[in-house]
Homo-oligomer: A and B are copies of this chain.
């Protein structure tokens, strides 16, 4: 089913670095957006420099089922107000896909409550992702393992809360492992962290990666008519016995 997706990108590397522009001439967001549209989703894009709200106004988020987030060098430039707005929308049901170096984004760290640090290395080495939960819909259409031929390494310990579901587990040529596909629920919303995706390697052009993203959008999409949650002072549903000597204020 087609979901309303907003693909957000920092979009700085692509405009400032020739090596990146060669791989993603129209920006990482353009490639991701194309892939998700091909999968049947309805996609808009937004970037850091789309005004003070980074293209993520209340109106945009209200019309978004799932937001994907790629950032790397300018996490600090994201307005706190926008971060809080995204968090609120996630807690209200919007799905969030956090991609690669966005592990250090303000929004991911805010939703995780941890430092989200890790080991890293840029050596164009082989990464091999292994499926650890083949019952999970994010693995639909995938083989039990697949390679990213040229990857930036991310290694454990990854400072995140234990994922509610671990979908992928990565092997790296240089000797490390990494929890690469991590599912979380936060309020009425769902969050998926997906590791692959460097700016100088053509990772988002890769078929398996695009399949994961399309599946994850479906998984993270909000309920159509989910439970309406009340929080605050609550009248008793059942009689409370107050005929005794108990203290009532």
* Contacts of A189-224 to chain B: CB distance below 8 A: 189-190, 200-201, 222-224
A231 and B164 form a contact (CB under 8 A): no
In Å, the complex CA distance between A149 and B166 comes to 27
Q: How many residues of A contact B (CB 8 A)?
A: 92
Shortest distance between the CB of A2 and any CB in chain B (Å)? 14
* B140→A226 contact, CB < 8 A: yes
In the complex formed, the residue of B with least CB distance to A136 is B185
Q: Specify which chain B residues have a CB less than 8 angstroms from the CB of A186 in the assembled complex.
A: 113-114, 135, 161
> Among the interface residues A232, A248, A249, which one has the most CB atoms of the partner chain B within 10 A?
A249
The residues of B that contact A142 with a CB separation of less than 8 Å are 226-227
Beta-carbon contact of A236 and B125 below 8 Å: yes
Q: Are B120 and A232 in contact (CB under 8 A)?
A: yes
Check B175 against A171 for contact (C-beta < 8 Å). yes
Q: Does chain B have a CB within 8 A of A162?
A: yes
Alpha-carbon distance A177/B179, docked complex (angstroms): 11
Task: Tell me the minimal C-beta distance from A17 to chain B in angstroms.
Answer: 10
Distance A173 CA – B169 CA, assembled complex (angstroms): 15
Residues of B within 8 A of A222 (CB): 135
Q: Could you tell me the distance between the alpha carbons of A247 and B139 in the complex, rounded to whole angstroms?
A: 29
Chain B residues with CB under 8 A of A136? 185
Closest Cβ of chain B to A201, distance in Å, is: 7
**B residues within 8 A CB of A52?**
none
Does residue A141 face the partner (Cβ distance < 8 Å to B)? yes
B-chain residues with CB within 8 Å of residue A156 when the two chains form the complex:
130-132, 144-145, 169
Decide: A117 and B231 in contact? CB cutoff 8 A. yes
Known: A124-B246, A234-B153, A236-B123. A169 touches B179 (CB 8 A): yes
9 examples of A-B residue contacts, CB within 8 angstroms: A19-B249, A91-B159, A111-B114, A120-B234, A126-B238, A141-B224, A161-B186, A164-B165, A171-B172
Please name 17 further chain A to chain B contacts, defined as beta carbons within 8 Å, in addition to the given A124-B246, A135-B189, sorted by A numbering.
Answer: A91-B114, A93-B135, A111-B113, A114-B186, A120-B234, A128-B177, A128-B237, A133-B185, A134-B229, A135-B186, A139-B227, A144-B230, A150-B247, A159-B231, A164-B165, A169-B177, A174-B240
